């Protein structure tokens, strides 16, 4: 099947990034959020990000104008029912995602493909709650979406080949690279990345190194563009903890036990850049380590 229109649930960091790349690729986009202010902010952010792309000659001003014109916003979730493909990019809580799919189902077209941008939750389990498990899969973008080149495509146990092929065609049209992942906790990227971040937090917790020395060591000693604690702040410490809990619960292996210090930071509400404090304090001109 040919996908022409795409519905996106959630206008946050991931949702607006997905809308941005889909519209530039020529898809008609319907962006939904329960909060009108979030939708307005998403449109402003997309405009600013495309302005930057125009200034760097990545896209033309005409391409920007056409892309923004392809995006419509709505606070009514069921308006997305007419889309050929729906990408859920709401908060990383399974109950929230299930409620979204429950509300959408009576309004979908028979051919509509349902997908989730979840970074760790079981696709098979999410799909089993819908009326179309064969037309359900994981569509996991990396953050920031306009910059990152990888998309993980995750089949649930019931996902059919036509659904996978249709989603793979979308990734190809975006000029990104698809990595096919099996439906096991945290898939590929986060299965490898999150334990590394968690181990960096343990290294800090045990006093092996400071925030600065840990990040400097990985940047200069392993050629990572960003230190693991700096990266955790960028991702969001609550998201890191949620994924570690999914790994720990889903694989029942103590090597995935979340570091108590990571839990403590989340309990304090120090979630990283989005709250201006995490392993670094971002309230001044220059980030300052908090430990």
Distance from chain centroid for Cα 110: 27
The per-residue pLDDT string of the chain (291 residues; one tens digit each, 9 = 90 and over) reads: 789 999 999 999 999 999 999 999 999 999 999 999 999 999 999 999 999 999 999 999 999 999 999 999 999 999 999 999 999 999 888 999 999 999 999 999 999 999 999 988 999 999 999 999 999 999 999 989 999 999 999 999 999 999 999 999 999 999 999 999 999 999 999 999 999 999 999 999 999 999 999 999 999 999 999 999 999 999 999 999 999 999 999 999 999 999 999 999 999 999 999 999 999 999 999 999 999
- Which residues touch 266 (CB under 8 Å, ≥6 apart)? 237, 238, 241
Is-catalytic flag, 190? yes
Which of 5, 49, 116, 190 is the catalytic position?
190
143 annotated among ligand-binding-site residues: yes
DSSP string, 12-59: SHHHHHHHHHHHHTT-EEEEE-S-HHHHHHHHHHHHHHHHHHHHTTSS
CA distances from 284 to 199, 210, 223, 276, 277 (A): 28, 20, 27, 9, 11
- 106 burial (CB, 10 Å; 0-12 / 13-18 / 19+) is exposed
The DSSP bridge pattern shows strands 136-141 and 280-281 to be unpaired
CA distances from 288 to 12, 205, 276, 282 (A): 26, 18, 11, 7
User: How many C-beta neighbours within 10 Å does residue 60 have?
Assistant: 11
15 annotated among ligand-binding-site residues: yes
Is-catalytic flag, 117? no
Is-catalytic flag, 248? no
Enumerate domains of the chain plus CATH numbers: 5-182 (3.40.50.720), 191-289 (1.10.1040.10)
Is-catalytic flag, 32? no
Q: Tokens for 55, please give them.
A: 């200034």
269 annotated among ligand-binding-site residues: no
Distance from chain centroid for Cα 191: 15
Which of 5, 32, 119, 120 is the catalytic position?
119
Decide: helix, strand or coil at residue 268: coil
C-alpha distance across the termini of the chain, in Å: 53
Which of 49, 152, 198, 230 is the catalytic position?
152
Choose among 162, 161, 78, 148: nearest CA to 117: 148
97 annotated among ligand-binding-site residues: yes
* Interior angle at CA 167, CA 69 and CA 42, nearest 5: 35
Summarize pLDDT for 214-228 with one digit per residue, the tens: 999 999 999 999 999
11 annotated among ligand-binding-site residues: yes
Which of 49, 88, 140, 198 is the catalytic position?
140
Compute the residue count for the chain.
291
């Amino acid at each position: 099947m040919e996908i022409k229109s795409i519905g996106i649930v959630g206008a946050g960091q991931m949702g607006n990034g997905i809308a941005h790349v889909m519209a530039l690729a020529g898809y008609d986009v319907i962006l939904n959020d329960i909060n009108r202010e979030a939708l307005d902010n998403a449109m402003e952010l997309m405009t600013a990000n495309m302005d930057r792309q125009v200034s760097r000659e990545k896209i033309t001003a005409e391409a920007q104008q056409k892309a923004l014109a392809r995006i419509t916003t709505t606070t009514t979730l069921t308006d997305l029912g007419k889309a050929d493909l729906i990408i859920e990019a709401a908060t990383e809580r399974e109950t929230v995602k299930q409620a979204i799919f429950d509300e959408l189902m009576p309004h979908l077209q028979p051919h509509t493909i349902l997908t989730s941008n979840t970074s760790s939750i079981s696709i098979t389990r999410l799909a089993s709650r819908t009326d179309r498990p064969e037309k359900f899969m994981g569509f996991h973008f990396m953050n920031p979406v306009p910059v990152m080149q990888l998309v993980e495509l995750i089949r649930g146990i019931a996902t059919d080949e036509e659904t996978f092929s249709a989603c793979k065609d979308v990734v190809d049209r975006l000029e990104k690279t698809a990595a096919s992942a099996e439906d096991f906790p945290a898939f590929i990227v986060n299965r490898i990345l999150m334990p590394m971040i968690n181990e960096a937090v343990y290294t800090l917790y045990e006093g092996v190194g400071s925030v600065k020395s840990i990040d400097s060591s990985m940047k200069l000693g392993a050629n990572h563009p960003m230190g693991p604690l700096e990266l955790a702040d960028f991702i969001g410490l609550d998201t890191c903890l949620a994924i570690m809990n999914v790994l720990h619960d889903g694989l029942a292996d103590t090597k995935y036990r979340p570091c108590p210090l990571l839990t403590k930071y989340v309990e304090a509400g120090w979630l990283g850049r989005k709250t201006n404090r995490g392993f670094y304090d971002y309230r001044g001109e220059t980030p300052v380590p908090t430990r």
